[in-house]
Chains A and B, each alone.
Chain A
């Protein structure tokens, strides 16, 4: 009797999913990477110097890993959390005291968030120090800056969600700073001239009102859980794609062409 698994591999079902055989050829190796949706971001070939740990510090990858952890723990937290001023704080307390592994989940989310801000900074530092922002990678540097901003905004919106004193006042201070921006903040310069008041400025847009309340919590929540992660994901994949397209991870200038 033949091995049923071998039979199965010859079936049309298997072949419709995996369109190649597994002979160890260089072509098959390349196809294994490029034919996989998750792996095709990896270059088919890579320079040895580019994967040296002491050169990249792995910070971009770690940041992405933290993002995935945050994504997963965040989804679990959403099962227990209600973005309502009456309930939010108590839900967080219950996560801490009642939900199985709730404290673990929450702490994982919180520490990963803190860590992600730090790793993004270190990543930027590395990119700056290795001169990887230089042409032809200058546009990807800009994408990176946008991603830094998105990380900070995610951190900021997430800060309000426990609805405790710390978050409440942090958002109060933060949005008051926005209110002092020129043109768009009601306390900023030129706002009077263009008719910006406390009820139509940037702070109002952020808070959904003129004080931190229920609508501010809901806005923070929606941005934190849907809006910002979605935008960040789009930028992230564009960022990764550009790494490939701009010539892979940077390395020492080999042939003085300007392209590393």
Chain B
């Protein structure tokens, strides 16, 4: 029995509705897939349109030029001439002559062939004989060998003769067709211009729409940026618009870092694999720890590979930022890899009570920059009470604080002598006074503009007498002044550089009570003064700032790089944004790394109340430079092949010269084998570079080589009868010369230059012509003529060695990498001539 089957309700409507929904969804998915997630297609289309417009106009221009009367006239003319030439060539007389010559050439070619075959045969027999002779030592073989040798010589001569003939005949033959060929080439030249433009334009339609990817195999990096930035690596700019424009600064960035090797994101950051939207590709999305850097900030990533940012073209911000870190001593409170084991930025405060007066110290603590404009010390926003408490603590640490701080009577006569000495010793190269002077910025020397109201007279005397006895690691040279000279200088400084607003209410602490001293100590501990200064009683304290850079550039093996997920990230440049505490500013400023850093430097304590970082009063440019530098502090993972580590100099001065340097601080200005500063010329190869006699005279009485820039202090001050004693004694000068001649030499510099067969006079004349032809006088001065960019060459013949000049002219960058002087690519003859000419330039 069949059960009654229940009638089902009609589902047609439901099926229909669901079918509509699913079709709509499928259409939507298809649209998302092909259009929405592939925005690069639109960009590529736009780019190709722009390019085709440009190429089309170029093609039209070429065609217009081709059709211009002038070109057409020339074109027709050439065609006529070609026709005439062909006719000439086809004439029976010419043709016959041509055939005769051609036959001759064929004949010679045949002869050469035979000659070659004979030569090969002789050579084969010779080798066979040689083998037999070695095996059996038969004399007859040797005789045959000698005969063959003779034969070979004859054959070779014959062949040379034939070839000479051949070239003559070939030329003769060419003359027949020369005219024809010439016109054909010219016609081709005219036609080619149009054809090339046309081809370029037509080929454009074949360009496929596709993702353009740069894949770097060993670090598994895929950068698809060029899918939208189509023109970024091309040579001509089709549009100024983004993303079609070309890369700026190509000579520095692209040429040294070809994208095929480096990709894009290694420098720019961002998400190279993403192509589904501009924000995603640029990494401006949540959780992408390395968003694309905008504008100048892109310099940050140079540090990923380059260890030395001070000498990096195109990374000015980093250079500035790095100098700022060294100047302000950020590393004193924050650990920064690459800036370790540097001396503390601030002076030792252990004996501060002997050095300065109390009022000054309190004023200074309140606002250093307000007091002295060039001050490095930041503003801590101390109240007057707090400032006195700190001053009390510091004074209490000085055992002997009952000293005379009064300025006393000024001896104006002595002060005048001091003024002369101040000038001769070039104090103002390093020390500014009221922000004037101090041209050598890399060495920070205190502004002495109000030193008279700050410093204790006796301390100043002791300091000038021997700076190291107060501060062993000081950069101040010991000028070996006599006592009279020192007193004169002290008198000058104390009388000249006075703060007229200074109120010497109390030069000593009024009262030193235990409570205030204790409070001062607590404040010093809280604000970490011991980071920059040596403070008595707090020697063991650790710097208080957070880490800024955990590891200096680490170069990992390929496998180690990607598997580093989960490693502790602690460098500020790629620390996740969640770890930055925006405090009360969370809703007020953009929550990204760059805004945080900029705000932190602008107003360090604005995030929360209890922050302790002081205000360095950076200006906008400083903040920009420091931000770029900090953004580049990452736990970088780059393979070894990209690294450009900082050259580490293990060079140490030795012997007596080291003692002299210790005293007068040559390396404050000069650099020797990577040690020292770049203010004055590099002395690494000075022994090979300059002549001994010149060096001796120079050290006795430094003269001026580069008038516009800087001068070495006068070390010997014997022209002033009142100041007899010199700084460098005769024996010291000899020590320096000996050291230069033995240690600071280069094997690359020849002692003598090669001879090119010309007489000395001829060489000199040729050199002089070359000197003016190449426009050397635009930068260099000889006598009273010439420019002042390069060194004065009036006396160069007495100063430099000929080997150095010769080598230097080959490539000026060999010895001075960032020299302004261009490389003219002189050949050896020219260099000999120029060297001879320059060596003849001598002051009589």
Contacts and interface: CB of A to CB of B under 8 A. Distances in A.
A213 interface: yes
A104 B222 CA distance: 22
A85 B274 contact: no
Given A26-B2, A101-B29, A165 B274 contact: no
A246 interface: no
B275 A98 contact: yes
B469 interface: no
A103 interface: yes
B33 A100 contact: yes
A89 B565 contact: yes
Contacts of A169: 566
Contact of A103 (B37, B222, B566): B37
B559 A96 contact: no
Given A86-B220, A86-B562, A168-B566, A96 B29 contact: no
B565 A163 contact: yes
Range class of the B interface residue count? 20 to 34
A224 B222 CA distance: 28
Contacts of A165: 565-566
Contacts of B29: 101, 104
A163 B562 CA distance: 11
A168 B568 CA distance: 13
Contacts of B559: 86
Contacts of A48: 6
A30 B224 CA distance: 60
Interface in A130-178: 163-165, 168-169, 172
A153 B562 CA distance: 27
A87 interface: yes
A97 interface: yes
A101 B29 CA distance: 8
Interface string B269-295: 001011110001000000000000000
A177 B135 CA distance: 84
Nearest to A100: B33
A214 interface: yes
Given A90-B220, A93-B274, A96-B276, A85 B37 contact: no
A89 B273 CA distance: 11
A161 B725 CA distance: 81
Contacts of A86: 220, 559, 562-563
A213 B563 contact: yes
Interface string B188-218: 0000000000000000000000010000000
A63 to B, nearest CB: 21
Nearest to A94: B273
A23 B393 CA distance: 110
Contacts, number: 51
A23 to B, nearest CB: 12
A20 B562 CA distance: 61
A213 B560 CA distance: 11
B33 A93 contact: no
Contact of B275 (A26, A97, A164): A97
A25 to B, nearest CB: 8
A85 B562 contact: yes
A196 interface: no
B273 A104 contact: no
B565 A90 contact: no
Counting chain A CB atoms within 10 Å of each CB, the highest count among B3, B273, B276 belongs to: B273
Contact of A90 (B33, B211, B222, B563): B222
A212 interface: yes
Nearest to B273: A93
A165 B37 CA distance: 25
Interface string A75-87: 0000000000111
B273 A90 contact: yes
Contacts of A214: 563
Nearest to A25: B2
B47 to A, nearest CB: 20
Contacts of B274: 93, 96-97
B563 A101 contact: no
A94 B211 CA distance: 12
Contacts of A26: 2-3
Interface string B1-35: 01100100000000000000000000001000100
Contacts of B562: 85-87, 89
A24 B566 CA distance: 66
Interface in A16-32: 26
A198 B6 CA distance: 65
Contacts of A93: 271, 273-274
Contacts of B273: 90, 93-94, 97-98
A170 to B, nearest CB: 12
A97 B274 CA distance: 6
Contact of B563 (A85, A94, A104, A172): A85
Given A87-B220, A90-B222, A212 B276 contact: no
25 contacts: A26-B2, A48-B6, A85-B563, A85-B565, A86-B563, A89-B562, A89-B565, A90-B220, A90-B222, A93-B273, A97-B37, A97-B273, A97-B280, A98-B211, A98-B273, A98-B275, A101-B33, A103-B276, A104-B29, A104-B33, A164-B565, A165-B565, A168-B566, A212-B566, A213-B563
Interface of B: 2-3, 6, 29, 33, 37, 211, 220, 222, 271, 273-276, 280, 559, 562-563, 565-566
CB-CB nearest 5 A-B residue pairs = A86-B562, A85-B563, A93-B273, A97-B274, A168-B566
